[in-house]
Amino acid sequence: MLQTVSALALDRLAVFEFGVICEVFGIDRSNDGVPNFNFKVCGLEAGKPIRTTVGATLTPDCGLEGLRGADLVAVPAIAAKEYPPEALQALRDAADAGSIILTVCSGAFVAGAAGLLDGRPCTTHWMHADELARRFPTARVDRNVLFVDDGNLITSAGTAAGIDACLHLVRRELGSAVTNVIARRMVVPPQRDGGQRQYIDQPIPVHCSDGFAPHLDWILENLHLPHSVASLAQRTNMSARTFARRFVEETGTTPMQWVTDQRVLYARRLLEESTLDIDQIADRVGFGTATLLRHHFRRIIGVTPSRYRRSFACDDECADTA
């Protein structure tokens, strides 16, 4: 049963991510039939102000002893690179005693520094995922999801994904009815579809030689045409085998996977910026059929083209009913 919740507040705390934890667990909604959590904000010392990332300070009511015995210890994003050893020990002790540990965004680094990510699946903001994997090499970092539930460890991606993780935990522990009440009060969906792939800015992922770059430029200018390894190789006066090998050396991926990726990225831009329907976009980017576009778009971005457009279209006229 989820009754006691302690938030760990350290220097360089990110206000929004901390606010998410407070919004879900720190507000009395007993009049709406939601169980009231015993919520504590815990710093190194009770009454000692900590710095936030926005030039304001926050004063915890409790010291680290407030983590002891909590059903849930929530760690918001912390912009610092190093963390007080006593805070890491308190976090380890809480986990060892049976507390669920939930991190929001870069709060995963605090859990990692405490040794809680070793050998476990986890996530963080996509911008920091590579660094998390580098600093904690035994952690199994998934950069594509909004959150990872690994039982007594829940890690979430950037910023608003903390809402998804918190509401997921409430649903898991207290049921959908309670979750729906909290979500309605927060004016957010009880559960979002897809993962953070749909929020990642994906530039053309290539750093190739000057001699090979014109070939890629030509492909980008002619994505609407049918392509094969043989046809692309013919344009470069190489054999198909040599072209495929050079392409992997230059780009890190196969020719047809690269073409598919670029078609999806182009489709994503058209979904955001144009009023073309799905069939028109599929033809414009070279997939030919809406079915093929949907298949590759969902595989790479994580959601359907229709759902992506509803979330990211430039205006209501871009709504997709296909």
How high is the mean pLDDT of the chain?
88
Whether residues 87 and 233 share a domain: the answer is: no
What integer is the mean pLDDT of 249-268?
A: 88
**Residue 143, domain CATH:** 3.40.50.880
Is the residue at 202 inside a domain?
A: no
Whether residues 115 and 8 share a domain: the answer is: yes
Whether residues 70 and 140 share a domain: the answer is: yes
Range of the domain at 27: 4-197
Q: What is the pLDDT of residues 85-107, one digit of tens each?
A: 999 999 999 999 999 999 999 99
Cα separation, 87 vs 203, in Å, equals 38
pLDDT at 156 over 80: yes
**The pLDDT value given to residue 69:** 95
pLDDT at 108 over 50: yes
Is the residue at 160 inside a domain?
A: yes
Q: What is the pLDDT of residues 188-232, one digit of tens each?
A: 766 665 555 545 454 444 456 777 888 888 998 899 999 999 999
- The total of structural domains in the chain comes to 2
Whether residues 27 and 152 share a domain: the answer is: yes
Beta strand 72-75 with 100-103 is parallel
Whether residues 95 and 172 share a domain: the answer is: yes
The last residue of a domain, from among 173, 197, 221:
197
Cα separation, 35 vs 17, in Å, equals 22
Whether residues 253 and 306 share a domain: the answer is: yes
The residue to which tokens 């959150």 are assigned: 147
Q: What is the pLDDT of residues 167-199, one digit of tens each?
A: 989 988 998 788 888 988 887 766 665 555 545
Question: CA 311, 314, 316: angle at the middle one, nearest 5?
Answer: 75
**Residue 288, domain CATH:** 1.10.10.60
The last residue of a domain, from among 132, 163, 197:
197
pLDDT at 127 over 50: yes
Is the residue at 172 inside a domain?
A: yes
**The pLDDT value given to residue 14:** 96
Is the residue at 38 inside a domain?
A: yes
pTM: 0.67
Whether residues 165 and 223 share a domain: the answer is: no
Cβ count within 10 A of residue 138: 11
Is the residue at 203 inside a domain?
A: no
**The pLDDT value given to residue 319:** 42
Is residue 103 within 8 Å of residue 75, measured between CB atoms? Answer: yes
The last residue of a domain, from among 164, 197, 230:
197
